[in-house]
Amino acid sequence: MSSRPLTTNARANAPNARRIPAGDIEGLVNRRILRFFADRAQLFEATGPWVPDIAEQEKLLGYADGFAERWNGLAPPELRSAISN
Residues in the chain: 85
User: Does residue 12 fall inside a structural domain?
Assistant: no
What are 5-64's pLDDT values in tens digits? 566 666 666 677 777 888 888 888 888 988 988 888 998 898 888 888 989 989 988 888
Model pLDDT, residue 23: 84
Model pLDDT, residue 79: 79
**Domain count within the chain:** 1
**Cα–Cα distance between 80 and 29 in angstroms, integer?**
11
3 pLDDT more than 60: no
Question: 52 is in which domain, residue-wise?
Answer: 21-84
User: Does residue 31 fall inside a structural domain?
Assistant: yes
User: Does residue 37 fall inside a structural domain?
Assistant: yes
**Cα–Cα distance between 46 and 42 in angstroms, integer?**
6
Model pLDDT, residue 55: 92
Model pLDDT, residue 29: 86
Residue 40 is classified by DSSP as: H
